[in-house]
């Protein structure tokens, strides 16, 4: 083998070594790029999830604004009515005695006693209606109508609060399931026993 051939072979070997070294460097660089890209993608996904949660929370807050406004309006109306009552009491110097309270309670009890059979029948009619109802909105409407009639017949009773509470609980329900129907029937029978 001549000297020139040997130099060429040595040069080729050096080029191969440098190519291998360059290949390793590029491979390490590529792996590092892929790793960094994976980390960036993961961080970006976390940020996107947090933004989704933020938007969802923001929508919930915006949904509560009308309710909050109604509460504030109701509070303002209530405060003005309380002020009106205070001024009427001060102007007329009205005093409510224990005897007046007892008379009112007796009148209310008398109303309930006189209308007990009618009220009981209305409760029974409500139970029969519930068996035929499928929609939760219809149930709420029936309970609202019944509450109004019940107030007219009794002049006020603690059952009215329980009916209102039940209507509020139904606000969170999407359908009138058998379980809800059963629980509501049990509540109505309990209300009958409280008369």
Provide the token pair at 141. 């409407």
157-185 in b/e form (b: 16+ CB < 10 A) is: bebeeebeebbeebeeeeebeeebbeebe
Identify whether the C-beta of residue 69 lies closer than 8 Å to the C-beta of residue 116. no
Which pLDDT score, from 0 to 100, does residue 108 have? 60
How far apart are the C-alpha atoms of 166 and 164, rounded to whole Å? 5
How far apart are the C-alpha atoms of 163 and 145, rounded to whole Å? 11
Q: Is 133 helix (H, G, I), strand (E, B) or coil?
A: coil
For the entire predicted model, the pTM comes to: 0.43
Tens of pLDDT along the chain (195 residues) come to 677 778 888 888 888 888 888 888 888 888 888 888 888 888 889 998 889 888 888 888 888 888 777 788 778 777 777 877 777 676 665 555 555 555 555 566 666 666 778 778 888 888 888 888 888 888 888 888 888 888 877 767 788 888 888 888 888 888 888 888 888 889 888 888 877
Taking residue 79's Cβ as centre, other Cβ atoms within 10 Å add up to 10
Which pLDDT score, from 0 to 100, does residue 93 have? 56
Chain centroid, CA 4 distance in Å: 88
Which pLDDT score, from 0 to 100, does residue 95 have? 55
Which pLDDT score, from 0 to 100, does residue 97 have? 57
Provide the token pair at 18. 């440098």
Counted residue by residue, the chain has a size of: 195
Contacts of 143 (CB under 8 A, 6+ apart): 126, 163, 166, 167, 170
Q: Is 155 helix (H, G, I), strand (E, B) or coil?
A: coil
Which pLDDT score, from 0 to 100, does residue 66 have? 80
């Amino acid at each position: 083998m001549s000297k020139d051939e040997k130099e060429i072979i040595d040069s080729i070997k050096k080029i191969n070594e440098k190519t291998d070294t360059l290949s390793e460097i590029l491979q390490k660089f590529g792996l590092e790029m892929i790793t960094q890209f994976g980390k960036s993608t993961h961080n970006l996904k976390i940020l996107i999830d947090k933004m989704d949660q933020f938007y969802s929370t923001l929508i919930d807050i915006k949904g509560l604004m009308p309710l909050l406004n109604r509460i504030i309006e109701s509070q303002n109306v209530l405060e003005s009515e309380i002020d009106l009552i205070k001024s009427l009491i001060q102007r007329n110097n009205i005093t409510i005695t224990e005897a007046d309270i007892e008379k009112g309670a007796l009148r209310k009890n008398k109303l309930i006693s006189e209308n007990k059979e009618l009220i009981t029948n209305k409760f029974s009619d409500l139970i029969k209606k519930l068996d035929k109802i499928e929609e939760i909105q219809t149930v709420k409407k029936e309970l609202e109508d019944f509450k109004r009639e019940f107030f007219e017949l009794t002049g006020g009773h603690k059952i009215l609060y329980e009916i209102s509470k039940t209507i509020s609980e139904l606000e969170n329900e999407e359908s009138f399931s058998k379980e809800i129907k059963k629980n509501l029937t049990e509540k109505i029978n309990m209300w009958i026993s409280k008369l």
